[in-house]
Amino acid sequence: MSVLRWGAAVLLTPLVLLACHSTESGEGSASSSTRRRPNILLIVADDLGYADCGFTGSRDVRTPSLDRLAQAGVRFTDAHVSASVCAPSRAGLLTGRYQQEFGFECNLGGKGGLLTGERTLARALGSTGYRTIAIGKWHLGHAPEQHPMEQGFEHFTGLLGGSRSYFPIEDKQPSAGQRIERDRVPVAESEFEYLTDFLSDEAIARIGDREVEEPFFLYLSYTAPHSPNHARPDLFESYSDAIPDKGRRTYASMVSAMDEGIGRVVEALDARGELDDTLIVFLSDNGGATTNHSDNGPWRGMKGSKWEGGQRVPFLVHWPAAFDAQVFDGMTSSLDIMPTALAAAGVEGVAQDSALDGVDLLPHLRGSTAEPPHERLFWRRSVAAAVRSGDWKLIRVTELDGSFAAPVLVNLRTHPDEYVDLAGDQAERVRSMLADLAAWEQTLVEPRWREGKRWEANQRAKHRPDARGREAERRLP
């Protein structure tokens, strides 16, 4: 019987069935022969605000499907992505490595992308017998060798670019990046009415066209709630009384369409008896954007910044057959998803894999270690870099002449709003953290492309200590 009866009014207390899923991190042992390896469902929202889910405190956006998963799973309070913009974040997510190590430091424009043969989660799981499926936004390169089906995925339905209309494009031919394709064959715009619903339908179809015994890795990468701001009319109307502001109402409707689709995907798994055997991970690719009426709650900054609002994201994991429902406060990274998924799949040697910068979270979630997953995390994109060490975070900005501006040092425990710069009182800590950042940078390569002077100027402006308040933040893309 499923531990969670999806859609039921009462959630049963999850059972810990570790004997059925024996994948201890240090041993890299395979799952018990009594049960097959788990499916892995990785769901990514696009530009979702930190406070725009019920399980992260939203009071106006409805996310009942995600809230049920969070209630029966693990809700992370200190989870981060490796970049605060779309493409670099996804490059780190799908490789388990700091993307700067292979030159994917900057966001994509008309050039760049994953290197040929990069070890992705899809390639690693596919080599062990998983069916690998990508649905939705790719945004990791347009060149033929960068196509999802050349990067480890057996099936791809979606768009190669970063965003597009949620409604059919009928007045012109969609661009190469905006065109919807299915296994390299263009999908007629008349085949769907609303993109988010279409992507959910495709995910359900791919889950259903395989034998239950065949484990899958499904990367469900929604474009929602990235701009353009297009609401499904019925959902927009459903918020008419609750949210007077039309921009915020449109955004809430986009998030609700995604949540509704996630609920249908989970229902499909439950109907096939596969929900208990599926490791579900949900997160946003970065913080809420300045252009989509999102809400990053208590965190300073928005998409593109090294403040917490740029890279601290909603993050949950659901696999009640393997660990209890809980709130996890340890510092966590999207880089941890790949090693965790590989360990869950029974891939040997994950803990010893020096190529991975993330860690297997299963021992932390099972309570077999009290140590936080990470002592330090690092970020760098063009002219702005940061290092997190425990409660402390340092931000370093490169000026136009190549010199470094005075670093900003904040303590997230004592001043979570990041408005109090403690660098002047912590000279030794500043020196130590700058040294840690410089040592990490020695492991990186030069960016394989740049974003241009305009975006570098925006980076500098976002990190000025005097750029305070959400309205000021929204003025900078």
Distance (Å, whole) CA 443 – CA 97: 12
- Residues in a beta bridge with 381: 384
For residue 61, which of 217, 292, 281, 219 has the smallest C-alpha distance?
292
Please enumerate in sequence order all residues whose Cβ is within 8 A of that of 245, keeping only pairs 6 or more positions apart, or say none.
293
At 197, phi and psi to the nearest 5? -65, -40
Beta carbons of 44 and 284 less than 8 angstroms apart: yes
Distance (Å, whole) CA 88 – CA 159: 17
- Residues in a beta bridge with 219: 42, 134
User: Strand pairing of 216-221 and 131-137?
Assistant: parallel
Q: What's the token pair of residue 426?
A: 């912590």
Q: What's the token pair of residue 26?
A: 């240090």
Helices (H), 99-194: 121-126
80 is catalytic: no
86 is catalytic: yes
The one catalytic residue among 21, 80, 139, 374: 139
Beta carbons of 343 and 366 less than 8 angstroms apart: no
Q: What's the token pair of residue 252?
A: 């809430």
Distance (Å, whole) CA 402 – CA 414: 32
Neighbours of 265 (CB within 10 A): 23
Q: Sign (positive/negative) of CA torsion 21, 26, 27, 28?
A: positive
Q: What's the token pair of residue 425?
A: 């009182």
Distance (Å, whole) CA 137 – CA 290: 20
For residue 197, which of 163, 167, 227, 176 has the smallest C-alpha distance?
167
At 116, phi and psi to the nearest 5? -60, 130
Number of H helices, E strands in the chain: 12, 16
Residues listed for the chain:
477
Cα 348 to its chain centre, rounded Å, is 25
The one catalytic residue among 21, 80, 86, 142: 86
Q: What's the token pair of residue 379?
A: 């970020």
Distance (Å, whole) CA 360 – CA 357: 10
Annotated catalytic residues are 86, 139
